[in-house]
Structure 1
Amino acid sequence: MQARVKALETLLTEKGLIDPAALDAIVETYETKVGPRNGAHVVAKAWTDPDFAAWLRKDATAAIASLGYTGRQGEHMRAVFNTADTHNVVVCTLCSCYPWSVLGLPPVWYKAPAYRSRAVIDPRGVLEEFGVTLAQDMKIRVWDSTAELRYLVIPERPAGTEGMTAEELAVLVTRDSMIGTGLAKTPEASS
């Protein structure tokens, strides 16, 4: 796949249809300015600011936009909160709807038919394949993103993080934890 992408990029560059520098700038934007760091900031703020968390529950689109994260496929958002007894997972069964402005570029597996179908049929099995083993009595809710509505999972705040700043907490939040296929890292795991 990488060889095909490189061949296509080379051909389009040689024909003058794309500028490699512009392409690099777009990719860099989605990797560093738009993406998981934005979502991690949203989660950390929810963990440290109860008023923001309540706003996020009520109107995630507005709450997220208040932090400056709007745009491509992030226009209509809903935040779902993991709890001690419920774990949330996001999938898009029809295509690959994904909140780019908050989570960046979607991972390849998110768009794969196997994930899109199995996440609904066997979410516990899929989570185990991602290394997330939940208690058998833990309820798993699967949320299906659409072109009209995208989801952001607010993972549970890890134990032992009391007194940490929002910036320190954001480092514990991963893209996968905001999709529900992972958990937030513990302070020990992040160091």
Structure 2
Amino acid sequence: MAHDHHDHDHHHGQEPPSDMALRVKALESLLVEKGLVDPAALDAIVEHYEHKVGPRNGARVVAKAWSDPEFRRRLLDDASDAIAELGYLGRQGEHMVAVENTPEVHNLVVCTLCSCYPWPVLGLPPTWYKSSPYRSRAVIDPRGVLAEFGTELPEDVEVRVWDSTAEVRYLVIPQRPAGSEGLDEEALAAMVTRDGMIGTARL
């Protein structure tokens, strides 16, 4: 699983396409050939989720929660409404719950049944999030999974695993990094990572 994670994040274009990628490409080619799909429309959808509703939206939510106590309270009380205040709406993000990391608690998000994921705030799910090893082991051995991502937690930190469903998606609010007190929201958002908002990383 960790191997898949590193390949996905750090070797863009250097590895041969996976079997799944080849199957998707073959299906796409067939649909285009039969005139059922417009390739420009597919490109526009991918562009939208990769560059307009990607993890930067979630990072802005987190940065506002760090810098605005009232927004943080609203986010923890009703994440769907608070996120909607910032204009981040859409399918796969209708019913959101925000969970907050603290010195005592670390949160980890998984979808054990399929790959439910909050697209409006995190964009498209990474390959490893959809993999069977992550989906099964995150619940059984969350500390082991976190260690494979390079996240070693002290024994006295409680790990809470949240299982996303078709009805509810989760967003982890990471702990604010030490020394970031004087930064504005834009600078804070630049510190937030996708993996931090899933819970596989600490900032």
TM-score, normalised by the number of residues in structure 2 = 0.87
Q: 2:32, 2:131 → 1: CA distance?
A: 29
- Alpha-carbon shift at residue 168 of structure 1 (Å): 0.6
Q: 2:191 — aligned with what?
A: 172
* 1:12 paired residue among 18, 25, 31: 31
Q: 1:136 — aligned with what?
A: 155
Residue type matched to 2:135 in 1? R
Question: Unaligned stretches of 5+ in structure 2?
Answer: 1-18
Residue type matched to 2:112 in 1? T
- Alpha-carbon shift at residue 146 of structure 1 (Å): 1.2
Q: 1:123 — aligned with what?
A: 142
Residue type matched to 1:169 in 2? L
Q: 2:99 — aligned with what?
A: 80
The CA RMSD measured in Å over matched residues stands at 1.0
Q: 1:101 — aligned with what?
A: 120
- Alpha-carbon shift at residue 10 of structure 1 (Å): 2.1
Matched, 1:111 2:124: no
- Alpha-carbon shift at residue 147 of structure 1 (Å): 1.4
Q: Matched residue of 1:39: which SS?
A: helix
Q: 1:188 — aligned with what?
A: none
- Alpha-carbon shift at residue 35 of structure 1 (Å): 2.0
Deviation sequence 1:130-154 (CA, Å, 0-9, x none): 1111111111000111111111000
- Alpha-carbon shift at residue 4 of structure 1 (Å): 2.8
- Alpha-carbon shift at residue 9 of structure 1 (Å): 2.1
- Alpha-carbon shift at residue 5 of structure 1 (Å): 2.6
* 1:21 paired residue among 34, 40, 44: 40
Question: Unaligned stretches of 5+ in structure 1?
Answer: 185-191
Matched, 1:158 2:177: yes
Q: Report the identity percentage.
A: 72
Deviation sequence 1:111-170 (CA, Å, 0-9, x none): 112111100110000000011111111110001111111110000011111111101111
Q: 1:55 — aligned with what?
A: 74
Q: 2:180, 2:195 → 1: CA distance?
A: 19
Of stretches 5-14 and 105-114 in structure 1, the one that deviates more from structure 2 is 5-14
Residue type matched to 1:139 in 2? E
